[in-house]
C-alpha cells in the first residue's frame, strides 16, 4: 500500500511540534493508534504578535523588516526529516527547511498568518484547529452577557464601597440573540443561549433563504445581517476575517441595533471600526459593548478604548487554556488517521493555485 507521507520502508513518521507548549506522552499514545512507528519532536517556533498580525494583513507573507526567531541547527536537522508540522506559524523558508513536509496542522482556528502560496508550491496540505476553543469562548460570551444583564459590575462596585444598593438586573428568558457567523463558536454559543430559553437567530455565509439549522431558531444568509440587527437584544460577532467582513460593524451598522442592545465581538478585531464604536457608545447608544479582540493588540497605553463608558474589554482571553492542549492533540490525532486513510482532513483548508501571485509589501 502506498504511504501517503511518501516515507521509505522502515522510516518513522516524523512529527514536529512547534507550539508554545511541549508535546506530552498523551500525544504520542494518540498518534501510535494510527501509525506504528512515529517520532514526536518539540521544535518550538513562535513568531511575535506583530509578525503574525503583519502576515495576516499580507496574505501570510512576512513583510520586510520584521524579525522572526532564529532556527538553531538541531531544529533544522529535525525539520529536514519532518512529515507533519504542528504549530501557529510557518517559517518563510519552510520549503527549504522542511523538504519532506506533507501537512501543516495549525493549533489556531484562524490561518490568516499562514502563507498558503508557499504550501501550495510545495504540495503541502493545511488544516486548522477550528473548534479547539469554541466551547470555552462560548462560555466566556455567556458570562460577559450575564455580567451586563445582571448588573454584576455595579453590584461588585457597591460591595467594594460598602453601600447597600438594590441594583436589579434583566431577565434573560425570551431575549433574542443574533449570532453573526454560525461557525464552530457560533454553534456552541447558540446551544448555550437556547439553554437560557433565548430566541436565537444566526447568519451564515453559505446559507440560503429558507435554510434551517437544528441549533438555532432562525437561519439567514449573511447578506440579511443588517436587516436583523434591530430585532436582537444581543448581537455576537463570530465571523472570520475577509474582505467582506473587514470594517463590517461601522457606525451605520451599530446604530441599527436597539439602543439597549449588547454588542459583542469575539471574531476578529478588523470586523469593527473601533472609532465608530467609541462614538456610538459616547452618544449613549447600546447598553454595552464587549470586545475580546482588537485591531491592534495589546492596546496602547492611553488608548481611548480603555476609558469608554460601558465597554467591556478583555485581552484576547476568551479562550480557556486548561483543555486547549488536550483538544488540539485530539484534532491532530484524528487528522493523522484521516491522512493515513486518504481522507479529507478535519478543518482542511483548500489552498489556492500556486501560480497565482499575491501582493506583498
pLDDT tens across 23-40, in order?
Answer: 989 999 999 999 989 999
- Is the pLDDT score of 256 beyond 80? yes
For the chain, what percent of residues have pLDDT higher than 90? 88
Asked if 13-132+321-349 and 134-313 have one fold, the answer is yes
- Is the pLDDT score of 360 beyond 70? no
Instruction: Tell me the pTM.
Output: 0.85
**CATH class of the domain comprising 13-132+321-349:** alpha beta
Q: What is the mean pLDDT of residues 172-197?
A: 97
Domain range annotation of the chain = 13-132+321-349, 134-313
How confident is the model over 90-142, as pLDDT tens digits? 999 999 999 999 999 999 988 989 999 999 999 999 999 999 999 999 999 99
Q: What is the CA radius of gyration of the chain?
A: 23
Q: What is the mean pLDDT of residues 49-73?
A: 91
Torsion angle in degrees (nearest 10) through CA of 347, 353, 354, 357: -110
**CATH class of the domain comprising 134-313:** alpha beta
Long-range CB contact pairs, 97-106, < 8 A, 24+: 97/71, 98/16, 100/6, 100/14, 102/4, 102/5, 102/6, 102/339, 103/127, 103/335, 103/339, 103/345, 105/129, 105/331, 105/332, 105/335
Q: What is the mean pLDDT of the chain?
A: 94
Question: Which residues, 6+ apart, have CB-to-CB distance to 118 below 8 Å?
Answer: 60, 90, 92, 94, 95
- Is the pLDDT score of 322 beyond 90? no
Please tell me the predicted confidence (pLDDT) of residue 207.
96
216 touches 179 (CB < 8 A): yes
Residue environment code for 80-97, b if the CB has 16+ CB neighbours within 10 A, otherwise e = ebbbbbbbbbbbbebbeb
Amino acid at each position: 500500500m502506498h504511504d501517503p507521507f511518501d516515507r521509505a520502508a522502515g522510516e518513522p513518521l516524523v512529527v514536529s511540534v512547534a507550539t508554545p507548549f511541549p508535546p506530552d506522552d498523551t500525544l504520542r499514545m494518540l498518534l501510535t493508534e494510527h501509525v506504528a512507528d512515529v517520532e514526536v519532536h518539540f521544535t518550538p517556533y513562535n513568531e511575535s504578535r506583530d509578525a503574525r498580525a503583519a502576515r495576516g494583513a499580507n496574505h501570510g507573507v512576512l513583510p520586510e523588516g520584521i524579525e522572526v526567531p532564529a532556527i538553531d541547527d538541531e531544529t533544522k536537522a529535525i525539520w529536514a526529516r519532518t512529515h507533519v508540522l504542528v504549530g501557529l506559524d510557518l517559517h518563510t523558508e519552510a520549503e527549504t527547511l522542511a523538504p519532506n513536509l506533507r501537512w501543516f496542522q495549525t493549533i489556531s482556528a484562524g490561518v490568516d498568518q499562514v502563507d498558503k502560496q508557499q504550501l501550495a508550491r510545495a504540495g503541502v496540505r493545511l488544516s486548522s484547529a477550528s473548534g479547539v476553543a469554541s466551547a470555552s469562548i462560548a462560555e466566556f460570551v455567556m458570562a460577559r452577557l450575564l455580567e451586563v444583564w445582571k448588573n454584576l459590575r455595579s453590584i461588585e462596585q457597591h460591595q467594594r464601597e460598602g453601600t447597600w444598593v438594590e441594583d436589579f438586573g434583566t431577565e434573560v428568558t425570551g431575549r433574542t440573540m443574533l449570532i453573526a457567523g454560525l461557525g464552530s463558536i457560533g454553534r456552541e454559543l447558540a446551544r448555550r443561549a437556547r439553554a437560557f430559553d433565548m430566541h436565537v437567530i444566526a447568519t451564515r455565509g453559505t446559507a440560503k433563504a429558507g435554510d434551517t439549522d437544528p441549533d438555532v431558531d432562525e437561519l439567514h444568509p449573511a447578506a440579511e445581517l443588517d436587516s436583523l440587527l434591530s430585532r436582537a437584544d444581543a448581537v455576537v460577532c463570530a465571523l472570520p476575517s475577509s474582505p467582506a467582513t473587514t470594517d463590517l460593524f461601522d457606525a451605520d451598522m451599530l446604530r441599527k441595533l436597539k439602543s439597549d442592545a449588547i454588542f459583542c465581538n469575539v471574531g476578529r478585531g478588523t470586523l469593527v471600526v473601533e472609532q465608530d464604536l467609541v462614538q456610538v457608545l459616547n452618544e449613549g447608544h447600546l447598553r454595552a459593548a464587549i470586545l475580546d479582540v482588537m485591531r491592534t493588540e495589546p492596546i496602547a497605553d492611553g488608548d481611548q478604548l480603555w476609558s469608554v463608558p460601558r465597554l467591556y474589554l478583555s485581552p484576547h482571553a476568551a479562550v480557556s487554556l486548561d483543555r486547549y492542549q488536550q483538544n488540539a492533540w485530539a484534532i491532530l490525532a484524528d487528522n493523522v488517521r484521516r491522512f493515513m486513510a486518504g481522507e479529507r482532513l478535519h478543518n482542511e483548508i483548500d489552498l489556492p493555485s500556486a501560480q497565482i501571485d499575491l501582493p506583498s509589501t
